[in-house]
Each structure stands twice: as C-alpha cells, then as structure tokens.
Structure 1
C-alpha cells in the first residue's frame, strides 16, 4: 500500500503559490524523538552527536545543516529529522549510543515519523504570513536561522524552525495538517494577489 500525505489533495493549490510566499510539503521525513535524562545528557549527548555527525542543540536551537538535523524541543527532549526511510537506522544507532555504560536506561528514542506533517514556507513575505497567526516575536533580532520553538500557529500546535532568513519549516500534527495548510494558503492569498 502506497503512503498518502495528509495534504496530498492540496498539492495543486500548493503548487500555485509563488513569488513572495511559497508553500510546499516535505513528504514523509523520518522523525525520531530522543529523550535524555538530565543527569545523563552531558555524558551521552556527545555520543549521540557523534553518531548523528552534529552536536545536540542548545535550548531553542537546531543543529545539523542537512540530513539528519536535530531540533531542541525542551530540556532533554529532541526531534531528529532525516530523509524518508531512515528511522530504523536512526533508532538502531541511537540505541547503540545510549546503551553500554548505563544498561539502556539513559534515554529513549522513538519513531514518530507518522505523527507530524512537515510544511516549508519560503519567500520574503513568509514572516508576515506567520505573524497573522503566531504570537512569537519573529523579528530577526528575536528569532533567526537555526532557532526553533514549539508554539501555536492559527491555534494549531507546531514546531517552528527557521532554516534561512526567509525560510521556515512547520512540523504540525498530521490530524491538523489540512487545517493548517488551508489557513496558510488563505493567509498567503494577499501576497499571491500582489505577485500575480
């Protein structure tokens, strides 16, 4: 059975976005939630970072420039994102990095790939679009490339990750993906009208 995206039916509308605000889906990325106990994060974080080839991020930040990359979600709580189909290898490597000295009780890694849809917003108007429904201060002095936060966007819980000056990724629960994509398309419409 072929996997279907939660917003596949909106692909035509997403494809018509352009100019100052573009929206598309990053389909089916591997997503693994990693939890590290506070007392073990200092010693096992470097092992995990070595396996991932990027450091464990500091609070409200992301690390890694490609695949995989890691988002900080809270104290000792991280989301590792990689290309589709990579979750089994991530889990195996993470369990190896967390095992050994502590008998596998230092943390946990769980495949959550099906839990969230990933939307990417690009273009010079996307910060203005996000400001329509997000209470975070997204001014470049307060939120910049490499930052991430859990927040509400149009009353939907999201993980917001800024990847470049005009580029953002939104991780939204799959059950809210259709709602949020439609909200974004509507919020982008004024910028699209000016572009056409």
Structure 2
C-alpha cells in the first residue's frame, strides 16, 4: 500500500487537496478526482522520481479548453448540471461532470472567471462547437 498523501507531498512538494479542490505547486496543479485519485496538470519534470509509485501518464488523454470572461459561467451553466454560483464553485475548485453530454473535468482558475475544461480529445471538436454556439447570445 502507498500512503497517497505522504507520497504526493514528497513527490510534488504540496499536500493533496480535499474533495473537489485544487492545490498548486509552482506551475503544477493537483486536482482531486476521487478518494485516492488525483490528476496532476503541468509541465513534465524529469527530476521527479516516480519509480515504485502508482502513477500513470495520461498526457494524451485530455485536451484543455479555456473559457474566460464575464459570461463564461452563463455559457457553462447551459450544459452543465452542477451549481457554478461563486458561493458553490469558485477559484481552487474542480469537478468531474457532464458538459453538453460530454464527460469533462472542470477547474475554475480565478474570479474573472476563467475555467479550464478538460475533455477527451475525441470529444474536443464537438464540445468546442457546442461552446461557440452556446456563447452566441453573449457576443
């Protein structure tokens, strides 16, 4: 067994975040995906020794779409079942959810708000087109 909290803290220099939270360490962000499951987003650092740990490189698994501006929340709420009100979901939060029926990981970066939508590459063109269509009323 591996103590994920100790291992993550030793490997990345930051303790893993709590449920639906994001912890940052320099250019890296650690997203809580579930009990004992975290996604580390950021540049690959060869100095981190992952030998013997339960770590899988999923770099090619997802594409990141950035959505920002005063109506970003409104656009996302059109196709997402979770509450994005600032009291419920703000900077430093993340969630696995559906957006326009596509499975995504959503992360809010700041109060602008700026969001990163991590989606499987095969769904990215569909989701990008959906986001463009959903944002037309705000242009």
TM-score (norm 1): 0.66
| CA root-mean-square deviation | 1.7
Task: Identify the structure with the greater helix proportion.
Answer: 1
Question: What are the within-5 Å matches in structure 2 for residues 73-92 of structure 1?
Answer: 73-83=33-43, 86=44, 89=46, 92=48
From 64, 69, 87, the equivalent of 2:24 is 64
2:79 alignment partner, SS class: coil
C-alpha contact 2:12 2:25 (8 A) present in aligned 1: no
Match of 1:181 among 108, 128, 132: 128
Is 2:109 the counterpart of 1:134? no
Match of 2:49 in 1: 93
Q: Which runs of 4+ in 1 moved over 3 A?
A: none
User: Secondary structure of the residue that 2:5 maps to in structure 1?
Assistant: helix
CA contact (8 A) 1:118 1:172 kept: yes
- Equivalent-residue separation in structure 2 for 1:61 and 1:157 (angstroms): 18
Count of residue pairs the alignment pairs up: 138
Mapped pair 1:53 → 2:13? yes
| Gap runs ≥5 in structure 2 | none
Q: Which is bigger in relative contact order (C-alpha 8 A, separation at least 6)?
A: 1
Partner of 1:29: none
- SS of structure 1 residue aligned to 2:125: helix
Partner of 1:10: none
- How far apart in 2 are the matches of 1:66 and 1:189? 36
- Distance in 2, matches of 1:129 and 1:66, equals 30
Per-residue CA deviation, residues 59-104 of structure 1 (Å, 9 max, x unaligned), is 1101006411100111100100112xx16x27x5233xxxxxxxx3
Kindly indicate whether the alpha-carbon contact (under 8 Å) linking 1:73 and 1:150 is maintained by their aligned counterparts in 2.
yes
- In our comparison, the structure showing a higher alpha carbon Rg is 1
TM-score normalised over the length of structure 2: 0.91
| Shift of residue 175, structure 1, vs aligned partner | 0.5
Q: Distance in 2 between matches of 1:184 and 1:148?
A: 19
| CA deviation string 1:16-37 (max 9, x = no partner) | xxxxxxxxxxxxxxxxxxxxx6
Structure 1 regions of 5+ residues with no counterpart? 1-36, 96-103
